[in-house]
Amino acid sequence: MDLDVITIGARVSHPVFGTGIVVGMNVSTFNVFFKGEGDKEIARSFQGLKLIEAAADAPDNSLSLDDVRKALRQVLNDTNAITYPVEMAAKWKGGNLVMEPGNKELQSKEVPIETFFHKIVMMRDRLRVLEQNINSHEKLDDNDKVQLQQYITRAYGSMTTFNVLFADKNDYFSGKL
């Protein structure tokens, strides 16, 4: 297949994901949105991708960037993936986390606290998403959900040491249900 005819907006067919629309591309891949599957990165070398309709031939029912933004915001809101900005306590800004090994012959490691804090916040957000996925899982019974939820609660409890980094107490980790 001539890869030059596949451009952003083209409709394509994939043997597993079905019909999709090319929403992005680079030298080696196409980024294709498949209904029910979301965005998938498909290698340009993949032989199973077939052009259904070139972008130039497609009817002019394209979405504006504003429409896409609204739709994305709605999806993120529905999945609780949008989180408000979490502030680090002012006293730590510009600081470094220094880790010194017990063996003085080994080199210490220094990391900006902002970088470490960002990773802690990402971990907390991922635990929250995991928690939501468990609670909404169709195949888990209530007993399994409670059991898995207890592990997440314990993980939150293990992270309470890092609460000192947060500016707002509402952002703290808590090991309580």
Q: Which two tokens stand for residue 150?
A: 């207890």
pLDDT digits (tens, 9 = 90+) for 22-59: 888 888 889 999 887 888 999 988 888 998 888 765 45
Query: Is 14 part of a structural domain of the chain?
Result: yes
CATH code for position 36 = 2.30.30.140
Domain span holding position 110: 90-171
Query: Is 9 part of a structural domain of the chain?
Result: yes
Are residue 37 and residue 96 in the same domain, yes or no? Answer: no
Higher pLDDT, residue 125 or 117: 117
DSSP result, 27-95: SSEEEEEETTTEEEEEETT-TT-EEEE-TTTS-S-PPPHHHHHHHHHHHHHHTT------PBPGGGTT-
pLDDT digits (tens, 9 = 90+) for 120-144: 988 888 888 888 888 888 899 999 9
* Cα three-residue angle 48-52-55, rounded to 5 degrees: 120
Query: Is 69 part of a structural domain of the chain?
Result: no
